[in-house]
Amino acid sequence: MPYTKKLEVLIIGSGGAGLTLALKLAEQHISVAVLSKFALISSSTYYAQGGISAVFDAEDSIESHIEDTLDAGAGLCKPDIVRLTVTQGKNSIEWLRTQGVVFTEEENASGQTQLHLNREGGHSHRRVVHSDDATGKAVSLSLIERAQQHPNIELLDHHNVVELITLPTNDANGKKIIGAYVLDTQENKVKTLAAKIVVLATGGANMAYMYSTNPHSSTGDGIALAWRAGCRVSNMEFMQFHPTCLYHPEARSFLISEALRGEGGKLVLKDGSSFMEKFDSRGELAPRDIVARAIDHEMKKRGIDCVYLDISHKPATFIREHFPTIYQQCLDYGIDITKQPIPVVPAAHYTCGGVMTDDYARTDITNLYAVGEVACTGLHGANRMASNSLLECLVFADRACADILQKLPTIISLPKIPDWDESKVTDSDEEVVVAHNWNELRHFMWDYVGIVRTDKRLNRALSRVELLKKEITEYYSHFRITSDLLELRNLVIVAELIIRCAQQRKESRGLHYTLDYPETDQSVPPLDTILIP
């Protein structure tokens, strides 16, 4: 039987951005449904270790945080967006505390309790508020618990969006959103969810690469959905590679937090010699793009599989108290970080580009919003500074909430939406095609569109992505959809967007480094790379 549900607000994604928005709307008596592709904790927020940047130290300042963010963004940050975000840091932390999030504290010299602040790469001061080394988990679990208890929020896990539904309009945007077709993977049927407002909070696209710190859910779904619906995307060439992912055959996606380097961890070669001072005067605390390229350079130059991050010179009690999650996880793999260095490699970590939005998280399509990593707000520019991402989620969820509350009363009714039609497709007898194409895509993206690029590598990648896109489109047309197929279909689109943006930028800037144009172009003002459907 066809299934149609009418909603006020549909939020796609259950991470920090989506749940923050849901709770803020629900408090204003708005009915909200939150979709999660897998379990509610499957978001990148849950796995975030470091923390949330905000100015609390008396020696720090808003202006310093702004300056650091602009510097890390390599000329492409929007200064007004940076200021808007940074000035809301303290308020965002206080709101999380009202939601039950417990942050790590310490006693100051006067014996008073205060927030403990970490320092991370690119920051000139200690300003990273954290919950030990599992900040994202603390935030995620608290927000999920609040959402589960709220009568105005419906949580729908194991629901994967197939397509956004739009209608043509006479306004400047030319389209408005009216809902989405959604695959209920537990009941294996497609539902029609009509909604006055739809919000994309789906996270990034880092599973486009063979090695990633992200959960398997980070397949660029929101970016691909918005692109197919008619939204512009921007700056997709700026894929951030975290410098330090645990190098172990059974732990490809375990992140070693930047906070280790903030507390004195040194990057070394197997013989114990350091190398970061050759690349940047800030050493281990240089921005992530510089550190990742330095590690990549050393690995390729020496033909080695990894480098090492050593914090064993610190007292064992200090390490265990400050980094309990990392300590235990490494110990599970036979590495005692109090006594030996940690083998690390760079891995795809964060999507700095995404769906273009304004300062209220509005996209090119009327009533469609994008918040969090899926969006390109102008905060991160060519390189995201550490721990600004969760701050962006909180600030722009708040901004979207304010705009949605103004918008909702003007939307009177929703048109009837036709049910999903799968009468002309059959069950697949070739599931191996999905797995094969997934692996091929992630391999060539890693090899050709990784930390260091060339025109030749990008052209090779585009040729392969175009072939894969045809195969996947044909497969999608003939067989019933599965969650794996939806992810692959989205991922191949996102891979193409990354490649096309990278081809357009004829310089090296921030996270985009190409051997064919190794210098930053100083002859013209820096511009965003914008793709139009």
- Residues with a catalytic annotation lie at 288
Half-sphere exposure of 69 (CA within 13 A, CB side): 30
| Main-chain dihedrals φ then ψ at residue 107, nearest 5 degrees | -95, 135
Sign of the alpha-carbon torsion through 186, 350, 260, 64: negative
Half-sphere exposure of 480 (CA within 13 A, CB side): 11
Query: What is the distance in angstroms between the CA of the first residue and the CA of the last residue of the chain?
Result: 35
**With contact defined as beta carbons under 8 Å apart, do 366 and 177 qualify?**
yes
Q: Distance (Å, rounded) from C-alpha 32 to C-alpha 11?
A: 7
**With contact defined as beta carbons under 8 Å apart, do 21 and 209 qualify?**
no
Beta bridge partners of 184: 159, 189
Say how far residue 99 (Cα) sits from the centre of its chain. Answer: 22
- Give the containing element (helix H, strand E) for 376: strand 375-376
Please give the structure tokens belonging to residue 386: 């550490």
Say how far residue 178 (Cα) sits from the centre of its chain. Answer: 26
**With contact defined as beta carbons under 8 Å apart, do 147 and 22 qualify?**
yes
Please give the structure tokens belonging to residue 399: 């901004």
Q: No. of H helices and E strands in the chain?
A: 15, 20
Please give the structure tokens belonging to residue 81: 């967006």
